[in-house]
Structures are given as structure tokens and as C-alpha cells.
Amino acid sequence: MKNSLLNFSVLCVSCLVLAPMNTFAQENQTPPISTERPTVGNSPDLIPGGSLQFENGTNASFRGSQYTLDLPETLFRVGITDRVEVRYAFSDEAYQRSYVSRVPSLQTMDPAVSAKFATGKANGIAPRSAIVGMSIPIGGTTWTSGSYDPTLTMIWTQSFKKSYFLNEVAGATLTTLDSARRPEWGPSIAGGRAFTENLGGFVEFAPTIMTNGNLEYVVDGGVALVPHRLAQFDLRTGYLKDQVGYHSLISVGYSLRVDRFLRIPGHLLHP
């Protein structure tokens, strides 16, 4: 829990909201921050080559006396080139009180490693980017499968009149259930716009088809505030529908990017 509190000291950040804001960057500058937060789906953008990005936050869901507090939701991203980045998602700590036990419990989730690749352009048939990842089974057994779960995610994006965007995400995780490998599908669609150079908003629908065939989904919306080109605050709210019922959601976060963190030769940085 101490590690979680240390990670949580830098709150969280948003991503899909800033996809259309890249046009505001000056030609002699790297693009402004774009993160995987606050949406459920992933951003189509990669961070610049040689950069380090730190995204962090917390998510709370509640239904009556039942609640779950998920933190630190920490993601490290390192840009190897402008078209490739490597990522590490820390194992979250979920503090939960359920209808069954009525006693709060702490659950450790699996961390994950992944790589993100630029594969196309906006408004194209091919996905703009793709993520290949693998979870590491060191978490608890309540919310994790106890196995190495590979994940493939593809992200398309459409832009309209420079200020509006629409991101479509198709993802699948191959996980273990009853000693058998089964897919869990996680598509999402998010749309929004940049209100100003420093403020953007979005709405999202993110269903998940579980390995047991059950359907869960998130309907949410939020805003991203960019006080500086390389830093962003985010706020998301909405609800989650699962087999128990509807749960209210709220998520807050902060992200920070450090450019020129790695010294990479120019011919490798911009292939």
C-alpha cells in the first residue's frame, strides 16, 4: 500500500481529448501531451521519441454501501522512436467493500507490459495505432486470472473541422477461465472536441464482453485541462453497468511528460 501511495502522489491525466489539439503545437516544438486517460479506451497517439510520460490517478465506483477505490492507476510510457513506445502499467490496489462480506478488503491487480506502434493515419481504413501487451500474474486471485494474458488493441481516429474527434477502439484479451483460454472483448467509442487550446471534453461508451458471456459497459464523460504543454489534469464521471447493477463512477488524474529523456540519434528517432 505504501508503494501505491507513493505512486498516487502525482494524480492522473487524459489522452483522447487532446488528439485534435496537436494542431496548436508550434513547428519547432514536440506536440502537447496526449494520454491514455481519462477514457476507458486507449488514445491513438504515441508520445514523441526520446520522451518519458507518467500518467497517474484514481478511480472510485460506488453503489449504496458497496464501493471500490482503485489506485494508483499508474502508467509509464517511454518513446523509443516517434512510431514506437514501450509501456509499463503498475499493479493497482483496489480497496473494496462488497455486499457479500461487508468488510473492506484490499486486492492487488496484475501489472502489464506492452508496446505501442504507429500503424496508419487519421481518417484511414487501417488503424492509426496498435498495442500489444501481456499481463504478469503476481496479483491476487479475486480480480485476476492468475495467468499471463496477452492483449491486442487497435485504435482508429476520425477528425472533423479540426476541433472534433472520434476514436474507435477494438481490443481483445486472451485470459484463463476454468483452466481454458477464452477471449474477453473490450471495444469502445469516444467522441469530443477541443474547446480551447487548454481545455477539451469527451463522451464515451465502452462495453466489455466477459469470458463468461456477460456484458458490462461504461458510459462516461469528462474534461482535460492542460495548464502546460507537458502536463494535464483530468476528470471523468459516469456509470458502470455490471451483473450487480449500476455503479456511479468518478476518476481524477494528473500526467506529466519529460521530453528528451533519452538521447536517441536523429535517424533512429524519426525513421
| Strand ranges for 23-149 from DSSP E | 52-63, 66-71, 75-81, 84-89, 93-97, 105-108, 112-118, 129-135
Q: What is the pLDDT of residue 179?
A: 79
How many CB atoms are closer than 10 A to CB 83?
A: 16
Q: What is the CATH number of domain 2-262?
A: 2.40.160.40
Number of H helices, E strands in the chain: 2, 16
In tens, the pLDDT along 252-269 reads 999 999 999 888 776 666
Q: Which amino acid is present at 217? A: Y
**Would you say the pTM of this structure is higher than 0.95?**
no
Task: Give the CA distances from residue 235 to residues 11, 77, 172, 203, 219, in Å, rounded to whole numbers and listed in that order.
Answer: 11, 21, 26, 12, 14
What is the band of 213 on the pLDDT scale with cuts at 50, 70, 90?
Answer: confident
Q: What is the pLDDT of residue 268?
A: 65
| pLDDT at 4 > cutoff 50 | no
| pLDDT at 193 > cutoff 90 | yes
What is the band of 9 on the pLDDT scale with cuts at 50, 70, 90?
Answer: very low
Rounded CA separation 118/176 (Å): 29
Top-confidence residue, 56 or 262: 56
Rounded CA separation 146/80 (Å): 30
- The DSSP bridge partners found for residue 228 are 231
In tens, the pLDDT along 156-190 reads 999 988 789 999 999 999 998 877 899 999 999 99
% of the chain residues with pLDDT over 90: 66
Cβ-Cβ contacts under 8 Å for 8 (sequence gap 6 or more): 56, 58, 71, 72, 74
| pLDDT at 23 > cutoff 70 | no
Q: Name the residue ranges covered by the structural domains of the chain.
A: 2-262
Q: What is the pLDDT of residue 102?
A: 64
Rounded CA separation 39/48 (Å): 21
| pLDDT at 204 > cutoff 60 | yes
What are 164's three cell numbers? 472534433
Rounded CA separation 187/102 (Å): 33
Q: What is the pLDDT of residue 252?
A: 98
